[in-house]
A and B are shown apart, each in its own frame.
Chain A
Amino acid sequence: MLDTELAIIGAGPAGMAAAIEAANCGIASVLIDEQQSVGGQIYRDVERVAPLRGAMLGQDFLDGLPLAEGTHSPLITHLAGAVVWQVEKDGTITCSVKDQARQIKAQRILIATGAIERPMPLPGWTMPGVMTVGAGQILLKQSGLIPNKAVLIGSGPLLYVLASQMLKAKTPPLAIIETQTMGDLTKAMKHIGGALRGWRYLLKGTKLLSALKMGGVKRYTGASNIRLEGEGAVASVSFQCGARSHTIPCDTALLHHGVVPNVQISRALQLDHHWDAQQACFSPSLDEWGKSSEATIFIAGDGAGIGGAKAADLCGRIAALKLASELGKLDEENLQQRAAPLKSALLKENAARPFLDRAYPPFKDAQSPQDKTIVCRCEEVTAGEIRKTIALGCQGPNQLKAFLRAGMGPCQGRGCGLTISTLFAEQTGKSMQEIDYFTIRSPLKPITLGELASLKQKDVERLF
């Protein structure tokens, strides 16, 4: 068992910044991540990749270099390739490194496990060749792979980011099929004031769009009735824009309609969560420092609520300062002084969110999929089966899991949990808060029984 003052789970911008800020205050931390190198989603493998194709990936990617380099501090122990599969309230973290169990005992824990892409169940989305836009980006960043004949489907800035990177690499997507409508943009305009305060994002968005236009990338907006078609692998996508139907042949279809906090660990710890209507996701309930309903556990970055990489960095630092003060390394005055500029930068950073959230809302057809569409990929459960079971008086997501196995597979409901809660709310008229979410249990990721058995310390009572 490794003892530490502070354990940070996740080495994306939030986790890296927190570790660096904590080190600045003299706190030794253990930085745990399942990936082999630091960087998280946006700065994935940045130290190795930056010299290879930094220019193509752009400044937003290169911004991660100083952070990654900052983690090479004697006060920061980076535990790489370590999959956290259990976190306990007493500060014990259990993770799996090459199928061996490792345990860490921390006085304080910061969860910085980021976001996952919002599930986007569409007809045909389980076929090989259908992936997420995030996956497309990871393939490009980490492995230098670009799909030859790809379409991008959904909504949100990430579609433009990937399309423009593909364009720079001279393999642009065949088309971007966007689900947001002009109406969404009109609604979003009400929040343009905030967005102007976060003007960098608007500027970036406009630049991206004009680059795509110049590059001849075809965009369709307000798309509906989207189907992925093919025999055993995706071969085309069909959809409608207004009265017109379109079919585009493709090898690869990349889906995306936003990201949502990865709440596996905070849910397993049964921390308080609330429904965030603006971002249409469950978020952990935190104070201004990122402290959760459990006093020794903090959460920062996209896992605390979607804010993007810069906000994640700031949240990570703010949490680290508070942790330093609680660990007796920073007095109250210094805490406030050092946190103040970070907090005002965070406000500015978050100013564009209300605009973005409304301009690129989740795709309705994917939030409430057609009856035949598979919702739970692991157990292959369709929306129709779920609706039928709800109609039989099934109480909630946990009873449904027992009846249909949806959420019982290896992904532990990451890919269907939100859709299932939404289907309940739709059919019963109850609020999302009331419906709530799956109960998450360890292991958070599958481990071998051999690894688990290696942790046996004593016999536990058993009758037989």
Chain B
Amino acid sequence: MKTASGFNSLEDASGASQSLVPVRFDGQDYMLPEGANLAASLLTAGVSVFRNAPATGAPRGPFCMMGVCYDCLVNIDGITQQACQTSVEANMNVCKPATPADLNTEDDHA
């Protein structure tokens, strides 16, 4: 979900020149500052829902930013990771982690 970001960035104002690199989130392409915190960068880019809670599918986003709550979990190149503990790298392929709700679609085994 991409909306207008609820956050103001001071980083540009401070003149720090970080190079922007492409990162894909849920099929959309973003240019994010290399080496920056992934959760913070996605929030700045207007992403607010990072995952759906496995039991009910309720939307979730970063809560603690210090690696405690696991509500920032995303799938990065096939592995579930905490976005708030990850730095932006070029060409990361990020998406919401699959949940057991996806189970029903493939559930027609004998």
Contacts and interface: CB of A to CB of B under 8 A. Distances in A.
Interface stretch (B20-28, B65-73, B100-108): B65-73
A135 B6 contact: no
B80 A446 contact: yes
Nearest to A40: B66
Contacts of A116: 64, 66, 68
B58 interface: yes
A267 interface: no
Contacts of B14: 52-53, 144
Nearest to B36: A143
A139 B55 CA distance: 28
Contacts of A380: 53, 55-56, 58
Contacts of A128: 48-50, 59-61
B110 interface: no
A379 interface: yes
Contact of A171 (B8, B60, B70): B8
* Number of chain A interface residues as a range: 35 or more
A415 interface: yes
Given A129-B48, A139-B40, A378-B70, A146 B10 contact: yes
Nearest to B5: A148
A29 interface: no
A14 to B, nearest CB: 16
A149 B59 CA distance: 20
A5 interface: no
B10 A144 contact: yes
Contact of B69 (A145, A169, A411, A448): A411
Contacts of A409: 70
Given A99-B79, A380-B56, A52 B7 contact: no
B59 A169 contact: no
Given A142-B37, A143-B40, A135 B7 contact: no
Given A36-B87, A378-B70, A448-B79, A148 B65 contact: no
A191 interface: no
A447 to B, nearest CB: 10
Interface string B19-55: 0000000000000000011001101100011100101
Contacts of B60: 126, 128, 377
A414 interface: yes
Contacts of B80: 446
B3 to A, nearest CB: 8
B59 A138 contact: no
A127 B61 CA distance: 7
B58 A145 contact: no
B67 A146 contact: no
Nearest to A117: B64
B10 A169 contact: yes
A233 interface: yes
B65 A138 contact: yes
A268 to B, nearest CB: 15
Nearest to B44: A145
A399 B69 CA distance: 22
A148 B66 contact: no
B31 to A, nearest CB: 16
A445 interface: yes
Interface string B70-110: 11010000011000010100000000000000000000000
Given A143-B40, A169-B10, A377 B55 contact: no
A300 B1 CA distance: 42
Contacts of A129: 6, 48, 61
Given A145-B43, A410-B70, A130 B79 contact: no
Interface in A208-263: 232-233, 251-252, 262
Given A126-B58, A139-B40, 17 more contacts: A53-B10, A117-B64, A127-B59, A131-B65, A132-B64, A134-B66, A135-B62, A138-B66, A139-B7, A143-B36, A146-B10, A171-B8, A232-B49, A233-B48, A380-B56, A410-B70, A415-B68
19 contacts: A36-B87, A52-B11, A99-B79, A131-B63, A131-B65, A132-B63, A135-B64, A143-B9, A143-B11, A143-B44, A144-B10, A145-B7, A146-B7, A147-B8, A378-B53, A378-B70, A380-B55, A409-B70, A410-B73
Interface of B: 6-11, 13-14, 16, 36-37, 40-41, 43-44, 48-50, 53, 55-56, 58-71, 73, 79-80, 85, 87
